[in-house]
Amino acid sequence: MKLLLDQVLPLSAATLLRDAGIDTIHLGEIRMSETEDKLKILYTLTVNQQCELLFL
């Protein structure tokens, strides 16, 4: 499982999760932190089909 973290979480959270062995991407790392939610979901469904988008 991959995690895609939304901008409500700090970039450091992605680093901590990767250090713990969890495949994680933060939307800020791929320059999508200000993107509309529906486009984030579309990205998750098309590019990272096995990715869980984490909204808080």
State residue 51's pLDDT score. Answer: 59
Average pLDDT over every residue of 42-49: 71
Task: Give residue 46's domain range.
Answer: 2-54
First to last CA, the chain: 18
Do the bridges between strand 2-5 and strand 51-54 make them parallel or antiparallel, or are there none, so unpaired?
parallel
Q: How many domains does the chain have?
A: 1
Adjacent-strand bridge partners of 24: 3
In this prediction the pTM is 0.70
State residue 38's pLDDT score. Answer: 77
Q: How far is the CA of 10 from the CAs of 33, 46, 49, in angstroms?
A: 11, 24, 23
pLDDT digit string (tens) for 2-33?
788 888 889 999 999 999 999 888 888 888 87
| 49 vs 44, residue with greater confidence | 44
State residue 10's pLDDT score. Answer: 93
Largest interatomic CA distance in the chain: 29
Measured distance CA(25)–CA(5) in Å, rounded: 6
